[in-house]
Every structure is written in C-alpha cells, then in structure tokens.
Structure 1
Amino acid sequence: MSTLATLPTTAPDSEEEAAVRDTAREIAVRCDIDGDHADCWRRLEESGFAELRSADDDGAPLADTTMTAIVVQELASVVCGAPLLGTLLSAELLRLAAVEVEGPMTVLLDEDLGALSTDGTGVAWDAGHPVATAVALDGDRLVAHALGASQPTQDLTRPSARPSGGPQPLNGSLDKQGRQRFDSFARLMLTADLLGTAGGVLADAVRYAGDRVQFGAPIGKFQAVQHIAARAYSEVEAIRSSLLHGAWSLDAGRDHHEASLVAKAYAGRAGVAVVEAAVQMYGGVAITWEFRAHRHLRRALLDALVLGTPDAAGAELLVAIEAEEA
C-alpha cells in the first residue's frame, strides 16, 4: 500500500479538475499515516489547497465546491490526518459572514457532532496541528474559541479538542440563507471525505484481491469476491453522483439544501458499507494494525455522524419535501 490505488470512474474530470486531482494525489501518496502530518499540511499550504474557500476580491470562494471536494476526496483516500476539512469548513463560515481571520481554524460542534455549537460548549472537530482555534455561533454571530490540547478520537488520524476559554467575538454574523449555504457545503465536504475514504480502501482491496492467491488462483477470480467488489463499486459511484449533483446545485444556487441532504444521508450509509466490504475482501488481515483498512473504517464511521447522521439527514429531507408540497 505504498502507492495510491484508484478505480475507473463513471464521472471523468475536466482538464482543470484533473490537474487539481493530480496535485492533491501527489500530496496524498506522500502522506505518512503514522506521522504527525506536518509535512502534509505544509504541502497543502504551499499548493494553496488550505485556502480554497477563502474569499476572493468579490467575496466568492477561490474554488468552487466541486474542485474543493476533489481535494478533500484525494486526501481522505489515504486517511490523511492534516486538518484540511475542518479548515475548509471554518473558512466557509468566515467567508459567508465576511470575516477575515489569519491562521488555520476549525469548527466547534455540539457534543453529538450533529451541528455547529451555539452555546460555547462542545467539541472542536478535526483539530490537529497547527489548528489552535475553533469558530462557532452565538445566536447568529460568529465567535472564536481558543482550544486546549488535542485528544484522540475514534478516527485515529483526526483528533478533537475542547474550548479552553470564553468566546471572542469575530464581528460577523450569519443570516438564514448563509447558514443554509454553510450547512449544505459542510454536508457535501463530509460526503467527499466519505467518498475518498471508501473509494481509496476499495481500490486497495481490489488490487489485493488480484495478488492474493488461494486454492491456486487469485481470490479476485472467485465469483463471491467479484460480487462484493461490484456492489461496493456501484455504491462508490452512487456516492460520487450524489456529491457532484449537490456540488453543482450549491454552486449554481439551485436546490442545494435537499441535494446536500440526499448526498450526506446516502454517503453515511453506503460509505461505511463499502469500507466493510473492503475489509471482507481482505479477510482477517484487514483488522490488524499493519493494514490501513481499520483506519478507513474508523474514519467512515465517524464521518457518518458528523453534521447529520443518515437518519437525521433523511428526516430533515422529508421535512423539506413536505414543506414544499404544503
């Protein structure tokens, strides 16, 4: 697993997207999953990927949602621990509120990780080095919280932290439309993280099935293994489709609320199922510390909870549909 395995996709990139993916993939390939990820973060900063959702001169983000999702996906394919996702979410929140703050930040979430914190308590998610501050809401106003020491989580490469002091006002607020746009963007970035996590480990498992010989033949030639791989591949591509539709909807100003809920609800279930299928293809070796598959599973299980479980996203989607039909 020294190189990044990939599978063909039903949604090929544009020329510009392919160039961004290649650069992100170069960073991912060089990731030391057992290291401190400082080198990964340095490369993300040098490439400009840490600033993708910062505001341009006209207030629009430097990169659209689809381009940003590509970078998130590639880093997630190796379960990189650089705090890219938290940084992008905080940057989106700050941009929507027209607030400029120097340095990488993350977001403060409720205890159950289901939404942004609004009372100053909760968990700063994706709080790896060099993140030392989290953005949250106080009503509709943005505040910043200094963070204490990072703590390990279920995801071994994505630590959390607790606020270490009172909130500091950031002189910006978020209206209802801005909050909806942030929520949609956040759900889509979690979907991209699940897509990368699931797609990355599936590609590695497919390669392993072509190399692992049992009963005189590669296990990939056995029909049972082929069926597992085929179903998992179809689920990966379905996650990708829902992500691309949601990203287009957000960038085009269409019905991004419903599209992002569909993407997050589906990815939360299918992403975990794909990783579990990959673990099954690997066999018992997949749950040993020598293999990364268990780390992909940890990442997928936690991603499925952050900013809306599949059940919560599905329930919110039904409410939105009923409101439209009323």
Structure 2
Amino acid sequence: MSAQSEPGLLYSEEEEALRAAVRDLLTDHCDPAGVIARTESAAPHDVSLWKALSDSMGLAGLLIPEELGGQGATHRETAVVLEELGRAVAPVPYLTSAVVATEALLACGPDDLLTELASATTVAALAVGLHVAPGAAVPHVRIEDGLLHGELTGVADAAVADVLLVPADDGGLYAVRAADVTVTPQVSLDLTRPVARVTLDGASGRRLGDAGPAVRRALRAGAGLLASEQLGVSDWLLTETVRYLKERKQFNRQVGGFQALKHRLARLWLEVAGLRAAARNAADALATGEDTDVAVAVAQAYAGQVAVHAAEEALQLHGGIGMTWEHPVHLYLKRAKADSIAYGAAGTHRAALAELVDLRAP
C-alpha cells in the first residue's frame, strides 16, 4: 500500500481506492442522525463502527509493520482515512489509537502491544492532554515503590481505551491497563471525541521505553495528520453548503446565485484548497521523514482557522435550519473548534515554525 514512490502530493490510485472503500463503509454505518444520537447517550464512541474499520479493513494497523501484524502503510494512506473520518465526524478512536498511541509504541521498539493494536483486540491512548503540542512540556505522574501515582487531564478517548501509555517522572513511558486506573469524563465541546481525567492511585505499569522521544514523535504525527481530519471536516462543510444553496430559493431565485454568497464560497474554496496542500505536505513529510517539523507546523498554523471558518460559514449560510440540533452542522462546528486547539493551537505552531526557519519576531 506504500505511496512513497508517487510523484508530488497528488493522491495515488491506491489512495483513491482506499478513500472510496472507507467512504462507502462510513456511508453505511455512520449517518449524521446516528452520530447525533450517540452524543446524547452515555456511549458516544461507536464500537461497532470501530470494529468494522479495524476488522474488515485492517485500518487499525495501517502504520504498524507487516512483521508485527500491521499493514505496513505510510502516513499518506493514514491521512486519506482521516480525511474520510473527518467528513463523517466519526466517533471512533482512530487518531488517538491508530496514530498517536501507535507512533509512541513504534518509538519504543517492537512490542506485543503493537500486535494487539494491529489486530484491533486492544485500543490504546497516550495519557497526555489533547491540547499538548509537539515539543511542549508533558505532564507526568510520579513513581513511588514501583507504582504510579498522579492525575492527568484532558486525555482524549481514555474512556474507550484498554491500555493507557503514561509518562512518569523517571523519564519512562509505561503501559497501564485501563482497569487499574480511574477514568472520569470531563466536559468537552466536541462530544464525538470525549476527554477524561485519568487518576492513578498505585497503578502498576510496564515500562516501554523513554517517554521524551516517544511522546514527541506521537504528538508530531498527531498534529500532522490532524490536518487531514480538519481537511475532511472543511471539505464536507463546503460541499454541503454549496449543495444547500443550489437547492434553497429566495425571491424565486436560487440563494447560491447571489453575488455576495458566491464571493464567500469562492474565498472558502481557496482556503480549503490551501489546506489540502498543507495537509498532504504534512502527511508526505511524515511518510518520508523530510522537513517533517516544518511541514507539520505549517499545516497546523493554517488548518484550524480554515476548518473553523468553514464551519461558521456553513452555519450562517444554512440559515435557520443550521441552528437546529437535528442538522449535523453543529457536530462539525464543535469538531472544528476542538481540533483548532488539539496538539497545540495555531499560535503555538507559528512560534515553532518561526524558530525552525529562523524568522523570530523582533
């Protein structure tokens, strides 16, 4: 499934085929009404959809080498999957488990946990707040008498994880079974990606490796591929808004025919096209290892504002129907707003980019 030989940032035939397969699956198993209903329930995660993505298509192990039971694909293919999951606002732990936790484990070397993740028998989550940016100081727990004690907040998808990857004050990254910790839900704007407080009170853990490089690698991949999810969110919003404005009539004219609205949509189209380029560049850089830090910083310096703008325009241009709970636009607005601060806000990435290219503010 490798796409590294493909020239430039265009999608390969294999990537387009993967997109079509994932979109078909999501069309059948992840309708907007179902997602809205889940946000109103005590079980926002769609376990059956996760199983379909993982068991039927093997997507949980996309980044895991074949010798460990995975697909041995690259970040380019993973980015395509995340675009489609973003288009559906799918309530599954793909970014947190199949990308972020997987990257942390890969940094620590071959491990049985990777095989479990590849086979989808285990869901893992890196016990680091969703807001933490690559390279930022990472909260950790303390070790006393060989057991882990402490509290970590804002951990995404902790409620559905079987294993938590926990940084400790000795510099190690520990695998802790979810049954040995207390997971308390926290209020989250985006109900399709819930966050939680993780409390460890004498939990036992298995040291996997050094937390520093593992967490940096994981958060960098998370930030870089989050841009592809934000692209999917933005693309759905633009497409649906154009479709609605072509159908909606006012004064016996198509609303989409008004000049002022055409200008707004044209501007949004240009922004989404720019986001596509930035997201593809970040995915390709992660796959090839070339200028990765710069590509990720560029993508995240831009992606958040585009996705939020697309959501705001969609909400306004849908008129009264866009303000209703039954219409899914609010799901995309909340995901866009939450994603805009996930793995570092835009300002954090701009500051990192300024350091990387030696263009600091005077």
**Shorter-normalised TM-score: what interval?**
0.7 to 0.9
Which runs of 5 or more residues in structure 2 are unaligned? 1-8, 39-43, 117-121, 142-149
Q: TM-score, normalised by structure 1?
A: 0.87
How far 1:323 moved relative to its partner?
8.8
SS in structure 2 at match of 1:171: strand
State how far apart, in whole Å, the 2-side matches of 1:17 and 1:238 are: 20
Corresponding residue number in structure 2 for 1:100: 112
State how far apart, in whole Å, the 2-side matches of 1:194 and 1:82 are: 15
Counterpart AA for 2:166:
A
Task: Note if contact 1:149-1:161 (Cα within 8 Å) is conserved in structure 2.
Answer: yes
State how far apart, in whole Å, the 2-side matches of 1:39 and 1:155 are: 20
State how far apart, in whole Å, the 1-side matches of 2:25 and 2:216 are: 32
Matched, 1:309 2:345: yes
Counterpart AA for 2:51:
R
Task: Note if contact 1:181-1:250 (Cα within 8 Å) is conserved in structure 2.
Answer: no
Task: Note if contact 2:282-2:292 (Cα within 8 Å) is conserved in structure 1.
Answer: yes
Corresponding residue number in structure 2 for 1:8: none
Higher Cα radius of gyration = 2
How far 1:295 moved relative to its partner?
1.0
Corresponding residue number in structure 1 for 2:269: 233
**Which runs of at least 4 in structure 1 moved beyond 6 Å after TM superposition?**
58-61
Matched, 1:295 2:331: yes
Matched, 1:163 2:198: yes
State how far apart, in whole Å, the 2-side matches of 1:241 and 1:202 are: 16
**1:91 alignment partner, one of 102, 113, 132:** 102
State how far apart, in whole Å, the 2-side matches of 1:323 and 1:212 are: 47
How far 1:152 moved relative to its partner?
4.9
SS in structure 2 at match of 1:162: strand
State how far apart, in whole Å, the 2-side matches of 1:154 and 1:210 are: 31
SS in structure 1 at match of 2:326: coil
Matches within 5 A, 1:89-128: 89-98=100-109, 99-101=111-113, 102=116, 103-110=122-129, 112-114=131-133, 116-119=138-141, 121-127=152-158
Corresponding residue number in structure 2 for 1:43: 52
**1:135 alignment partner, one of 165, 177, 181:** 165
State how far apart, in whole Å, the 2-side matches of 1:287 and 1:173 are: 48
Counterpart AA for 1:233:
W
- Could you tell me the percent identity over the aligned residues? 29
Aligned residues: 314
State how far apart, in whole Å, the 1-side matches of 2:25 and 2:155 are: 25
Task: Note if contact 1:194-1:268 (Cα within 8 Å) is conserved in structure 2.
Answer: yes
Q: Structure 1 174/26 Cα, relative in aligned 2: closer, same or farther at 3 Å?
A: farther
Task: Note if contact 1:117-1:136 (Cα within 8 Å) is conserved in structure 2.
Answer: no
Task: Note if contact 1:83-1:126 (Cα within 8 Å) is conserved in structure 2.
Answer: yes
Task: Note if contact 1:261-1:317 (Cα within 8 Å) is conserved in structure 2.
Answer: yes
Q: CA RMSD in A?
A: 2.6
Q: What's the CA shift string for 1:169-214, capped at 9, x where partnerless?
A: 4432248665554333111121112111111122111111111111
How far 1:53 moved relative to its partner?
2.1
Task: Note if contact 2:190-2:335 (Cα within 8 Å) is conserved in structure 1.
Answer: yes
SS in structure 1 at match of 2:174: strand
Corresponding residue number in structure 2 for 1:223: 259
Counterpart AA for 1:127:
A
State how far apart, in whole Å, the 2-side matches of 1:75 and 1:112 are: 20
Q: What's the CA shift string for 1:35-93, capped at 9, x where partnerless?
A: 35222112111211122122332899722111001101101112111111111211111
Q: Which moved more, 1:232-241 or 1:29-38?
A: 29-38
State how far apart, in whole Å, the 1-side matches of 2:218 and 2:69 are: 15
Task: Note if contact 1:59-1:95 (Cα within 8 Å) is conserved in structure 2.
Answer: no
**2:25 alignment partner, one of 2, 24, 27:** 27
Q: What's the CA shift string for 1:271-318, capped at 9, x where partnerless?
A: 111111222221232121011111101001111111110001111111
Counterpart AA for 1:28:
L
Q: TM-score, normalised by structure 2?
A: 0.79
State how far apart, in whole Å, the 2-side matches of 1:133 and 1:172 are: 12
Matches within 5 A, 1:5-24: 13-24=11-22
**Bigger fraction of residues in strand:** 2
Which runs of 5 or more residues in structure 1 are unaligned? 1-10
SS in structure 1 at match of 2:72: coil
Q: Which moved more, 1:198-207 or 1:257-266?
A: 198-207
State how far apart, in whole Å, the 1-side matches of 2:162 and 2:195 are: 11
